[in-house]
């Protein structure tokens, strides 16, 4: 039933066809790929699991899959997931779920770039040291001028210090105190004459690394200030590209803002 499966997985589940080989089709859903081939016998063993960013997405899929769903969505206390099961046209078991806890990175490169957003509201959930270390481990591979590696990260945990920094520019800096942590990304001019560019690239690399781990950030501008540097113990001649809040966003699936077409970004 390959044609029926193509229609089901693309139109109903929202997959895309990654590779069409005639009698074999490979589908892609985020970073998950799976395939079916036209044969005389049908193999229905195993469970195909689709996971989403929140419970609303699971509920939405339940409405779509209501005719073949085995039961309504419910919370699985043992695994801390919100889930329901259904069947595809050939009887395979499908699982639709949302992890109620942080998970290891799973976003594909294009999904990571397309879904990164600026977040200003965060959960109170603690960020583990292992996750924070993993973020830094990836972020340290940001490119720098002549590979001088002039940028560095300063983790801000102290609540009173976050509060003070969040008030320096009023509403624009407010998100700094809304997250469990804040991170200053700065650079040293004695290490590189391109330290400003290095810091900006390092900051965005950090933000992408954070989103890879499900953590939200927000670029807070105009933080290269003497008072802020004094509070953080950063030398006056160093450059602060941004101080970003860091935390698990309350709504991780924000819709993208309106964008110009790709052609409008090109200039002759």
Q: List the chain domain ranges.
A: 2-99, 109-246
Report the pLDDT averaged over residues 17-32. 86
- Output the CA angle 129-56-87, nearest 5 degrees: 105
What letter would DSSP give residue 267? -
Summarize pLDDT for 44-83 with one digit per residue, the tens: 788 898 988 889 999 999 999 999 999 999 999 988 999 9
Q: Are 110 and 30 in contact (CB under 8 A)?
A: no
Residues 208-226 have pLDDT tens digits of: 999 999 999 999 999 999 9
The C-alpha atoms of residue 192 and residue 146 are separated, in whole angstroms, by: 8
**Phi and psi for 69 in degrees, rounded to 5?**
-70, 140
Within a 10 A sphere around the Cβ of 239, how many other Cβ atoms? Answer: 22
Dump pLDDT digits (tens) for 128-182. Answer: 999 999 999 999 999 999 999 999 999 999 999 999 999 999 999 999 999 999 9
Strands 81-87 and 74-76: antiparallel
Cβ neighbours of residue 257 under 8 Å, at least 6 residues apart?
none
Residue 34: strand pairing partners: 27
CA pair distance 246, 231, nearest whole angstrom = 19
Percentage of the chain beyond pLDDT 90 is: 77
Using the predicted structure, report yes or no on whether residue 31 has a pLDDT greater than 80.
Answer: no
2-99 in CATH: which number? 3.10.180.10
pLDDT per residue over 225-235, tens digit each?
A: 999 999 999 99
Q: Among residues 194, 189, 196, which one has the least CA distance to residue 242? A: 196
pTM (2 decimals)?
A: 0.83
- Measured CA to CA, the distance from residue 51 to residue 83 in angstroms comes to 9
Q: Which pLDDT belongs to residue 46?
A: 80
User: Which tens digits make up the pLDDT trace of 94-125?
Assistant: 999 998 887 778 788 888 999 999 999 999 99
Q: What is the DSSP letter of 167?
A: T
DSSP string, 72-132: --EEETTTTEEEEEEE-TT--EEEEEEESS-------HHHHHHH--B---B--PPPPHHHH
The class that CATH gives domain 109-246 is: alpha beta
């Amino acid at each position: 039933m390959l044609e029926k499966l193509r229609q089901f997985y693309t139109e109903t589940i929202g997959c895309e066809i990654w590779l069409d080989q005639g009698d074999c089709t490979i589908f892609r859903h985020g970073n998950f790929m799976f395939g079916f081939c036209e044969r005389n016998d049908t193999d229905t063993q195993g469970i195909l699991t689709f996971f989403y960013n929140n419970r609303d997405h699971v509920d939405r899929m339940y409405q779509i899959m209501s005719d073949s769903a085995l039961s309504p969505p419910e919370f699985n206390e043992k695994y801390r997931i919100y889930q329901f099961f259904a069947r595809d046209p050939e009887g395979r078991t499908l699982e639709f779920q949302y992890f109620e806890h942080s998970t290891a990175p799973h976003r594909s490169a294009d999904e990571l770039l397309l879904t990164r957003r600026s977040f200003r509201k965060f959960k109170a959930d603690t960020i583990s040291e292992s996750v924070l270390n993993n973020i830094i481990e990836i972020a340290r591979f940001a490119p720098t001028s002549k590979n001088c590696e002039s940028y560095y990260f300063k983790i801000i945990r102290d609540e009173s210090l976050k509060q003070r920094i969040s008030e320096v520019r009023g509403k624009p800096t407010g998100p700094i105190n809304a997250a469990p942590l804040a991170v200053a990304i700065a650079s040293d001019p004695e290490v590189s004459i391109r330290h400003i560019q290095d810091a900006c690239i390092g900051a965005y690399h950090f933000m992408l690394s954070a989103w890879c781990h499900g953590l939200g950030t927000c670029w807070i501008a105009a933080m290269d200030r003497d008072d802020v540097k004094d509070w953080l113990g950063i030398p006056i001649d160093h450059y602060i590209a941004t101080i970003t809040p860091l935390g698990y966003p309350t709504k991780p699936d924000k819709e993208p803002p309106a964008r110009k077409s790709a052609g409008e970004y090109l200039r002759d």
